[in-house]
Every structure is written in structure tokens, then in C-alpha cells.
Structure 1
């Protein structure tokens, strides 16, 4: 039981992801979280408004179970498979956060970003709305999200996925090193 209560090493988690991808490839399926939004919108009748959502969503309903599984898995892991210990972040990260006036006393969930009181700030709401729109647009424009391209696309040796993943990394570096300090 102790093994389940701690973070798993990358090589075990990576191996399990690779096994999952092998099974999906053998079944002729593609993995990606952002495609579930399209499927969900189609289920809710968005095909009546836009032809983009007119497709056989029932063929992709298995992927909706991935979203449910991710939510249930996160809940079970946080509430039943955790002994409450959060892996420590480095002192350099704590110092970097402090220079941006972000506390590190709650480790991965700083109260300046992840609290109900943070939602009372119009700046925070704008960041959430604009960021959500940009992420949604980016995922759609790139033909998939980071998990779809990095896990599924690279497993299939697709050049567009490699280009997208490189773009995701470049965008992430620009965000963290240029935009994040300007915003906060």
C-alpha cells in the first residue's frame, strides 16, 4: 500500500503510458483531451448551430470515459491514495516565486493564484478568461492539445505533432520567462 501512497517514478508512469498508447494504436484509436470538448459539444447539440460539430460522436464516446477517469483518478489519488505529503519544491523555485510576490507555503497551490479570494480580482478573472480562450484556440489551431500531440502524435511518428510539441515548449518558455513576470 505504501507504493501507491507516494509519487511514482517517471520510468514506471512512462511505461504505463506507453502500454496504454500501444493498446490504443492496436485498436485504431487516437488519444487527446481537447477532442473531448468537441465530442461533448456535439453530444449537447452544437451540430445544430455549426457544421464543425456534425460528426458521429458515438464513435468517440469512449474518449469521454478518459475525461471521467482522469477526474475520478485525481479525486481518488488526492483523497484516498495520498498521505498528505506534498513533494517539496526547490529553494530556487521558492526564491523565484517570492520575487514575483507569490507564496510557496502551500507548495503547488499558491493562494495568490488558487483561492476563492483570487477570483475577486478583475485581473485574475481576465487572465483566466483570456488564457482559456487562447488555450482553446491554440489547441484547435494546432489540431490537438499537448497530450494528443506529445503522447499520441509522437507515438505515431507524425511530423506535425513534433512541430506542435516544439511550439508548445517554445510557447511555454516564452510564457514563463517573459510574459509571467510581466503579468505578475
Structure 2
């Protein structure tokens, strides 16, 4: 059975996207970017909601070919392209770059995907992840908290139906006051 990881950059007040779909508050140092790249290298399946998919697919398919791309950005782009992806959406018609589109029930499909063999899967997009959290499918939470308050937007966590006990497995501080916390779900 696959492990499911929900991890994103988040503001100190708990948002992954600020008002007006603003994501410019997240400043990744080279060290933090490398940490995300190292995590991405371990992932064998990426699950995306539509909005995060659109943001990622607008940049990373050709991120290694952009002028001024750093070695870390080149590596991330190649890993991202090669990793199988599933996008959950009822509003887009097609996807590309080693990706499959699912328009049906997300929780049913995620459950099916996790039941199979393979390395860890990562879920991205707070709305999609909220359904997986409520269904009790998330095994690990990764919050990379940036020292900024944005006052609103799309939260990392939405309301949960049941109490979820967690174990802290890692903390790390990055340049600029960014703090990583990783938690595993207690089962």
C-alpha cells in the first residue's frame, strides 16, 4: 500500500494561496528548493487538484529550458515531468506530461491508487487534499511555513470530520525564517 503525503508551502496564518490567488508570498531559498526537489525525487505518483495542476503545468514542463534556470530548477523540472501524475477535475478536458485526468469521485480513485503497490504518493492542492484528509487517507503532513501573514485566501486545512492525532517526525529551519514541520498520522 502506498503512503500519501500532503505537503505545501503555507503562510503563518495557514493559507496556501493568499487573497486574489496570490502566491508571491512564498520565497524559496536554494536550500528549501533543494529540499522540495529531494522530496519530489522520492515520489512515485503525484495527485493534483485543478488549480495547482494549472500553476505547475504552466511552468515546469519547460522549466529546465528557461533562461537562467538553476541546476536545481533543471533537476526539479525533469523529475516533475517524469513522475506519473493524476489530475482531478471536472472542468478541464485534457492534460499532458505523463498525466491522467480523473473526472469522477476523487476519494474513490485515490483509495484505489493507494491500495496498489509502489512508493509514496503526494497530493497537492488544498481542496483535493481536504477530501483525502476527511476520508482519512493522508499518512503524512508537510507544512513549510513562511513568516508572512496574508489575512485570507485558500487554507491548508479545512474543517475535518474527526480528530486526527499526529506524531512530529521532523522540524527544520531554512533561510529567511521558513520552518518545515512534518507529521505522521497516528493510526
TM bracket, shorter-chain basis: under 0.3
Structure scoring higher RCO (CA < 8 A, sep ≥ 6) equals 2
Which is higher, the Rg of structure 1 or of structure 2? 1
Give the TM-score normalised by structure 2.
Answer: 0.25
